[in-house]
Amino acid sequence: MVDPSRDVPGETRRPGLRRISTLAVPSQTLCDGAAVNRPSPRATYFWLMGTCITLIVLAWNVVRFWSIPVAVGMSVVAAVIPPVAAILAGRGRGGG
């Protein structure tokens, strides 16, 4: 039998609350029987949002001098990224 009051490495205890893990564990899924590391939902969100900002800045500060339609296309792609980032970030919460 494990004593619940005993400290576990990487976890903190707060009175009245369940244990909260403080260890960084990468998400893993099984693919053909082998564990595959996935970036955390938070990292995925920030990478996608960083890509979005980069596309907008490049489109309207660099690309527009050569081609307005390409700059508009880059902005359209950048406009699609935030909803996708929010969906991917929300999948790690166990809601579905």
- Candidates 19, 18, 2; CA nearest to 10 is 19
pTM, two decimal places:
0.59
Q: How many residues make up the chain in this entry?
A: 96
Round to whole Å and give the CA distance between 50 and 1. 48
- Dump the DSSP string for 70-82: HHHHHHHHHHHHH
Query: Residue-wise pLDDT tens for the chain (96 aa)?
Result: 555 555 555 555 555 555 555 455 555 555 565 667 878 888 889 999 999 999 999 999 999 999 999 999 999 999 999 999 999 888 766 655
User: What does the CA dihedral 82, 56, 50, 85 come to, rounded to 10 degrees?
Assistant: 10
Strand-pair partners of 27: 38
- Candidates 19, 16, 25; CA nearest to 4 is 19
